Structure 1
C-alpha cells in the first residue's frame, strides 16, 4: 500500500508535536515505519489519508464497540452541539447517563464523571486513600492505569513499548507508596500485604489485562483478591476502562461475578469522546467533595457533548445482545487465525475473553507481564506490517489487546484470516 500522504503529514507533525503524536503508541516505534493518518472511518473500516481502506481491530482502543460513526451516537452529539458545547454548570443529561450506568453495573450506587481513564483511576486511588486513611497501593506489573505518577511503575503498554516503564519525572517519594505485584499470582499479593500490614489502601487491577496483550485472570485469582481485601480492610479497585460496558452490560464484575469496591470506566462510556468515570457504593462515594473531604474536580467534567455520546452508546448496549454477538465473532477470528498459524507451524499463543484478544508469538501460556514479554517482537513486526499491507489494521504494539467492534462482518473476519495466511505463507 502507498502511504505518501501519511508520511508527509507525520513529517509536518514532528515539527510541532513531540514525536509527531499525542499518545506515544501511535508513533509506530515498536513496529517501525511511519504512522498511518486517518481521514475518516465508518462501521468496521478506517480510511486513511492515502485513500486506503483498512479493517479496524483497535476500535479507537475500545470505545467504538458498535463501529465507527454509529448513527445514534453521531446524531446525539450533533443535536447537543447545536444547543451549546459546554456550560460549566449542571445539566440534566449528566443525571440521565449516571442513572443508566448505575442500573447496568452491579455493586455501585453513585458515579462521578471525569475526562479520561487516567483521571478516573487517579481519582479512585485518592478516594481509596481518603476512605481508608492509608497510603500504599498495590498494582500489577504490566497493568496500565493511565499516566498518573502513582501508576508509572512497570506500567505496561505504551511505557513498555519504549523499554522505560519507570518514567523520569516520577519521584521516589511517590514510587515508594506503589507496591508491585505479579498478575495472576495470589501468593505474591499475599506476601506484599503481610509485609505492609495495615498500610495498604487499595489493590488496583485490570480484571482482564489489556496492556500486556489480552490476559484473562486465572480461575480463583480475582476471588482470592476479594478475600484478601476483605480480610485486611483493603479496597479492591477494578480498572474497567477497557472492560466496562464491553465484556457485558455490567462489565467484568458481571461477567466474572466479582464485586469490586470502586470501579473505573472510560472508552465505551464516552461513545468515542474523552470521558472517564469512577463509581462505588454511596458509603464510599460520599467521601468525595462537596459531601466529604476527598477533593476531586474538573471544569469540563460531564460536558454535554461527551454525556450525549455516552448516553446514546449505553442506551444501545442496554438493549439487544451485542456482547454475545461480539464474543462469537471474536471466537471465530481466534479459531481461524489459530488454524492458520498451527498449519504453517508459527509459534504462537492466542488469548481471548469476550471481544478482546491478542496474538502472542511465544511458546507456552501468557499469564502475566513476564510471559508476555517473552514474545518474539521481530515476528510481531512482520505480522503487523504484513497485515497492514493486506488492509488490516492491528494495534502497533505486541503489548496491546485487539478490540473487535460489532460492525465487523464474518466476511471481514474471513478476509483477516486470509490476510494472516498470506503474511506467513
Structure 2
C-alpha cells in the first residue's frame, strides 16, 4: 500500500498545524506511521489521497450511522444551503429537530442547542452548578467530556494523579472543584459524597465509557448513580455524545432504563455536521438565560445546516428502528470473530459499540484499560490498515458500525482479523 501523497501532505501540514493535524488522535501518535489523508467517502468506505480504499469503522467517531454520503441527508443539507448558511436567529428547523429529540429522549423536557459535544457538557455542568448553587462535580477516571478546562482531569488515556490537569495551560484552580471517582466503583462515589456533604452539584458520566476503549457499566452501577445523586440533591448528567442515538433511539438511558437529570448529545444529532445539545429537567433548564441567571450563547447554535442534517438523520432512524437490530447483528459477527481470533485479548461491547483490548485482564475501569499492550495494538492496527480496514488509530478509542456496512464488508473484515491475529501473535 502506497501512502506517498499522504506523506507529502503530512509534511506540509506539520508546518501549518500542531503535529500536522487538527485533532490529536489523527496524528497516529499512539500507533506510529503516517496519517491517512482522506479524500472522499461513500457508504461504508473511505478513499485516501493515494487512491487506497478502506472499509471504515471510525464513521467520523460516530455520526455516520447511516453511512457516508447518505443521499437524503446530503439533499437536505444542499437544500438548506441554498436558503443561507447562518442567520443568528430562530428557525423552524431547530424547533423541528428539538421536538424530534424530545420524542426520542423524554428526559430532555427542555434543551439548548450548541455547536459541539464539548460545549454541550461544559454548558450542562454550568447549568447544574447554577441550579444547585454548588461548585463541586464528580467525574470518572478515563471518561472524556470534551476539552473544557474543568474536565481535563484523567480524561481518556491521561495518566496524572489526583485532580491535576491533564493539559498544560489549565490552572489547578480550574480543576480544584473536580473530584475523581473510579468508573464502575460504587465505593469511590460514596466516599466522595461523604467527604463533601452538600457541596456536590453534579455527577457527570459516560453511561458507557467510550474514551478508554469501550467499558460498559457493570450491572446496577447506573442505577446506583441515579439513587445517590437523588439522595444528595445532586444533578446526574449522562454524557451521551457517543451513545446518543447509537444504542437506540433512546440512547444509553433507554437501553439501560436509567433516567438522568441532564443529557448531552453531539456528533450524530447533527447528522455529521458540527452540533451539540444539552437538556433535561425543565426546572434545571429554566436556570439558563434568558429565563435564568446561567449564561450561555452561540451565534451558530441551532444553525440551519446542522439542523437540516440532524432532522434528515433522525427521521430515517425513527422511521426504521429495525436498523438497530441490524447493527447489533453485525456487531455480533465482528465481536465473535475478534474473540475467536484473539482468545487472550478482551473484547468489550455495548449494543453495536465495541473495542478490543490487548490484555488478558478483564477491562472494567481506567486502571485495567491501561494494562493493554499498546505496541501490539499498533501492529494490529497497521496490519488491518494495509489490508483495507480503517479502525481507530488508538487502543483507547472504539469502533462504529453503520447501516451501509455490507455482507461483503463483514466477510472481508473477518478474514483480515483472522490473518492479523496470526501476524501480530
TM range, normalised to the smaller chain?
over 0.9
What are the Cα deviations for residues 173-205 of structure 1, in whole angstroms up to 9, with x where unaligned? 111100000000011100011001111000000
Is 1:400 matched up with 2:401? no
What's the TM-score, normalizing by structure 1? 0.97
- Partners of 1:136 and 1:99 in 2: CA distance: 32
Partner SS state of residue 377, structure 2:
helix
Residues 117 and 264, structure 2, Cα contact 8 Å, conserved in 1: yes
What are the Cα deviations for residues 349-388 of structure 1, in whole angstroms up to 9, with x where unaligned? 0001112100001012101110001001111011000000
Is 1:411 matched up with 2:408? yes
User: Once superposed, which parts of structure 1, at least 4 consecutive aligned residues long, lie more than 6 Å away?
Assistant: none
Matches within 5 A, 1:284-299: 284-299=284-299
C-alpha displacement of 1:424: 2.5
Give the number of aligned pairs: 418
State the match for 1:388 in structure 2.
385
C-alpha displacement of 1:410: 2.4
Residues 106 and 253, structure 1, Cα contact 8 Å, conserved in 2: no
What are the Cα deviations for residues 182-236 of structure 1, in whole angstroms up to 9, with x where unaligned? 0000111000110011110000000001000011100000000111001100100
State the match for 2:305 in structure 1.
305
Partner SS state of residue 82, structure 1:
helix
State the match for 1:332 in structure 2.
333
Partner SS state of residue 14, structure 2:
helix
- Partners of 1:6 and 1:270 in 2: CA distance: 29
C-alpha displacement of 1:106: 2.8
Residues 135 and 199, structure 2, Cα contact 8 Å, conserved in 1: yes
What are the Cα deviations for residues 119-165 of structure 1, in whole angstroms up to 9, with x where unaligned? 000000000000000000000000000000111001015x569xx97
- Partners of 1:160 and 1:106 in 2: CA distance: 37
Residues 117 and 265, structure 2, Cα contact 8 Å, conserved in 1: yes
State the match for 1:167 in structure 2.
167
Matches within 5 A, 1:99-138: 99-138=99-138
Residues 151 and 178, structure 1, Cα contact 8 Å, conserved in 2: yes
Is 1:282 matched up with 2:289? no
State the match for 1:150 in structure 2.
150
Partner SS state of residue 67, structure 2:
coil
- Partners of 1:324 and 1:421 in 2: CA distance: 25
C-alpha displacement of 1:417: 1.4
- Partners of 1:2 and 1:165 in 2: CA distance: 40
Partner SS state of residue 125, structure 1:
helix
Is 1:65 matched up with 2:65? yes
Matches within 5 A, 1:11-22: 11-22=11-22
Gaps of 5+ in 1: none
What's the TM-score, normalizing by structure 2? 0.97
Residues 156 and 212, structure 2, Cα contact 8 Å, conserved in 1: yes
Residues 340 and 417, structure 1, Cα contact 8 Å, conserved in 2: no
Residues 128 and 235, structure 1, Cα contact 8 Å, conserved in 2: yes
- Partners of 2:190 and 2:323 in 1: CA distance: 38
What are the Cα deviations for residues 294-321 of structure 1, in whole angstroms up to 9, with x where unaligned? 0000011111000100111111111111
Residues 98 and 111, structure 1, Cα contact 8 Å, conserved in 2: yes
Partner SS state of residue 402, structure 1:
coil
Partner SS state of residue 238, structure 2:
strand
- Partners of 1:58 and 1:134 in 2: CA distance: 38
